[in-house]
Structures are given as structure tokens and as C-alpha cells.
Structure 1
Amino acid sequence: MNISFDKRTVIVTGAAHGFGRAIAKAFAERGAAVHILDVNEAGLDETRQLCGERCRSHVVDVGDRDAVQAVVSAIEADAGAVDILVNNAGGVRGQVGRPLEEISQADWQTIFDVNLSGTFFMTQAVAPGMKKRRYGRVINISSGAGLGISLTGIQAYASAKAGQIGLTRQLAHELGPWNITVNNVAPGFVRSNPTTERQWVAMGEDGQQKLLQNIAMKRLGSPDDIAAMVMFFASDFAGWVSGQVISVDGGK
């Protein structure tokens, strides 16, 4: 399967490390013009250097609707159109699992802002241009936590990712008449960034082995495994695939 994105313009959010970095590199290697977004400027610069001349970076908080509208308008003014959007920005924002009685409104909201509101705001911003051209691909990166439970016990994370999956299905039906597909990748546990490294260490040897034994393939995946699924959803091979959630988790 030879997948190329020549003459396509792509936005990847949460691209400072991990899945976002792997996804951005995969698009750049296949000929796309890639615009990477994150709040982490230093990490974003590293990704841009790895992606080469096809990549441009933008420091933006996807939970800020006005900032999202501004950056998408600037990208469209420069590139002419956005063909593919990957909503990868997310995470737990430094939180750890705690009893629900201890969760403040701010703790709850900040996770929803990046994981769910950011997905909505970004898709909302690119949709008019995609509708005008009658073409678009939107790929949301959720989590196994959105289909089951969070391994860390973070209530807001599991809830926001489940909400993102529901949003994926809703937008697939809303945007489908304009030849815009909306799909979702639900990764399993991957050691892909500082947060997941801390989680891996916190499991201890027994917890790590238990996690591995619950995976059909008895091993962890890599960010490149997630990027590969995104490449398929973004490609012409998936032109009649929409509203789908695919778990990339080694088998559960």
C-alpha cells in the first residue's frame, strides 16, 4: 500500500513529542506540507527540525477558541486550504489518579479543555474550508481509556476521551455530505512521552508484566504504530470509512 500526501496540507496538534511527533514526521516523509501545533515551544522546535523543510510550527493552546480560529486562518491564508486535521493534543496535564472527592473544578476542566474542547474547536475552524472544497479528513486520537477505564484512574481523562469518541461519530454524520470523513484512533498504553514514562515506572515490575500479559501480542507498541493507522485514515484508501474507532493496542 503506497500512501502519498503530495500537495496536501496537514495540521497535527499536540506535536511536541510522542504520537504527534511521529504523525507529523510520517506525513512529511510522504510529501505533505505539515503545520504542527502545541503549547510546548521547545518540543515543537525539535519536531520541526526532525520533519524538515516541509514542516512549520505554531505555538497555540487548542483549548482557546479564539487562538485556534486565528492560527487556522493564518494557515489557510498561507496554504490555501487544510486537507487533513489530526486532533492529537491531549493528556492529563500533570495530574495523577485521586479520589473523586479531591478533584477541583479546575482539575476537571483543564483536561476537558485540551482533550475534548480542543478537538471541537480545531474541527470547527477547518470545517468551512473543507466544506467549500468538498474534501477533508479529520482524525481524532483518543485512548483506550475512552472505551473502558483510565489505567491511572483519572476520571476527567476517561470522560473526555469517551466524549471525543462520541464527537467523532456525531461529526462524521454532520460532515459526511461534504465528503469529509471523521475517524478515531484509540491507542493502548505506549511509552511515548514523559508522562507515560512516569506511569510505566510507577507500575513497578509486577504491574508492567501484568499490563503486558493482558496484551494479545505480549509487547508494547510505539508511536509509529499509531502514526500508521492515522496514515490509513487520512489516505484515499479510507475514502468510504467514517465514524469509526479503531483500537491500536496490540489486541485486548
Structure 2
Amino acid sequence: MDIRFDGRVVLVSGGAQGIGRAIAAEFRDAGACVHLADIDPAVIETAATLGAHGHVVDLSKRAASAALVNDIIAREGRIDILALAAGGVCGETSLPLDGITEENWSRIFGANLESVLWLVQAAAPLMQQAGWGRIVVVSSGAGLRPSLTGLHAYTAAKHAVVGLTKQLSVGLARYGITANSVAPGLIRSNPTTERQWQSYGEDEQGRLVDSLHTRRLGKAQDVAAAVIFFASEQANWITGQVLSVDGGRS
């Protein structure tokens, strides 16, 4: 299957590293014009390395997300695909129930859920006018079951991301816009996930790998391949779906 995006403009959130970076590289290789957005200033260097455009933005803020989309539209005249990989645990580890605060709860929801909502809200009108658009959200296995991170906010936010994606599909499909989600298992693709992996210890690491049908952890490129498919013309009658990319978790 030859998947190309020549002439398409793609915004990849969470593009500074890890899964977002891998997604951006795949779109670039398939001919798309790629814009990367991240709160991490390293996104500028990543974008330069990939031959893409980098933007340092706090996507949890509605005004900032709207300004980013408007900037891309002013520069490119269009925005066709949102590949939304921003999120994560925001520096939290092993946070117990009584350790949840308004601040750390809101920070995780902002990064994982609100970053999706505000970007889609800003980009959808132009996609509707064009009669074509793709929204692909990277959620997590934590959006389908309890999270290996043990973080209540992260699990709740990823479940909300899955629900939001399905609801977006209901309202946007009539305009030729699909909305789907890719739910990865543990991917050792950035310092945070590497710390999570190392915290398990050798025995727990072994049990986790043994629970996967493939008997191996995935790579960022495995997730990127699923995102690319959902964004393609070949997937134009697939919407409101969640695809687990987790090696077959038992």
C-alpha cells in the first residue's frame, strides 16, 4: 500500500521527541508539509532536523492553540491533518489518591485532553470548508483500562480522549472529516517512559513483556505507522475507532 500526502499540510502536536517525532518523520517521508508543536523548546531543533516547521506552544491554552492554527493557515493556506500526540504524565510518578491536587490534575488534563479539544476546535472550520480532514489522536492503553503508571489523572484523561475522539466523529464525519485514535502500549521513546520502564525492575519488566503476544515492546515507529494509515485516503470510511497498538496485550 503506497500512502502519500503530497500537497497535504499536517500539524503534529507533541512533536519534540518520541512518538510525535516519529509521526512527523513518517509524514515528511510521505511528502507532507509538516508543522510540529510542543511546549518543549526542543521542538525547534527537532523540526529543523526533519526539515519541518517548529512551534513552541502551550496547547492546553485555547487562545494559544487557535493562534497556532491561524498561523499555519496564514502561511500554508490550509490545514488537512491533525496528528495529536501531545500529553504524557507531566513529570508525575506514582502519585497516590491523596496526593492529587487541583494543580497536578489540571496540568495532566490540559496536556492530554484540552490540547486535543482546542486544536480540533480551531482547525475544524477550515476542514469543513474543504470537505476533507483527518484527526488522529494518540491516546493510550490507559484510555481503555487502568494505567501502568498508576496515575488517576492520566488514566482519566486518556479515557476522556477516547470519548472525545468518538464524539468528534459523530459531528464531523458528514463533512468528510474522520476522527480516530491510536492507543499504544508502553513505548520506550522518551526520558519519561524510560524512567517508567526502569522503575519496574527486572522481574516486572519480564512479566510485562511476557503478557504481550509479540513478546517484545513496541517502537515509536509502530505507532506512527498506525497514525499514517488513519490519515490516509485508504482509511476514508473508518472513523470513530480506537486501534490498540500494543503487541497484543493479554
Give your verdict on TM over 0.5: yes
Contact 2:48 2:54 in 1 (8 A): no
Once the two structures are TM-superposed, the CA of residue 155 in structure 1 deviates from its matched residue by 0.3
Any stretches of 5+ residues in structure 2 without a counterpart?
none
Report matched runs for 1:220-231 at 5 Å: 220-231=217-228
**CA contact 2:44–2:55 (8 Å) conserved in 1:** no
Runs of 4 or more above 6 Å deviation: none
Structure 1 position 145 matched with structure 2 position 161: no
CA contact (8 A) 2:84 2:136 kept: yes
- Map 1:197-212 onto structure 2 (within 5 A): 197-212=194-209
Superposition CA RMSD, Å: 0.7
Alpha-carbon distance in 2 for matches of 1:99, 1:38: 28
Instruction: Tell me which residue corresponds to 1:47.
Output: 46
Q: Deviations over 1:113-141 (max 9, x none)?
A: 01001100010010000001111000000
3-state SS of paired residue (2:53): strand
1:250 pairs with 2:241: no
Q: Does 1:83 align with 2:80?
A: yes
- How far does residue 47 in structure 1 lie from its aligned partner after superposition? 1.8
Q: 1:101 aligns with which of 98, 102, 110?
A: 98
Q: What is the CA–CA distance in structure 2 between the aligned matches of 1:73 and 1:152, rounded to whole Å?
A: 35
Which residue matches 2:127? 130
TM-score w.r.t. length of structure 1: 0.98
Partner of 1:58: 55
Question: Does the CA-based 8 Å contact 2:69-2:122 persist in structure 1?
Answer: yes
Q: Deviations over 1:39-59 (max 9, x none)?
A: 1112x133213312xx10111
- 1:6 counterpart letter in structure 2: D
CA distance in 2, matches of 1:75, 1:184: 23
Q: 1:235 aligns with which of 229, 232, 235?
A: 232
Whether the 8 Å contact between 1:12 and 1:23 is mirrored in structure 2 is: yes
Residue segments in structure 1 that go unaligned for 5+ positions in a row: none
Q: Is the 8 A contact 1:25 1:50 kept in 2?
A: no
Residues 43-91 of structure 1: per-residue CA shift (max 9 Å, x gap):
x133213312xx1011101101101111100100111110000111000
Classify the secondary structure of the residue corresponding to 1:62: coil
Percent identity over the alignment is 49
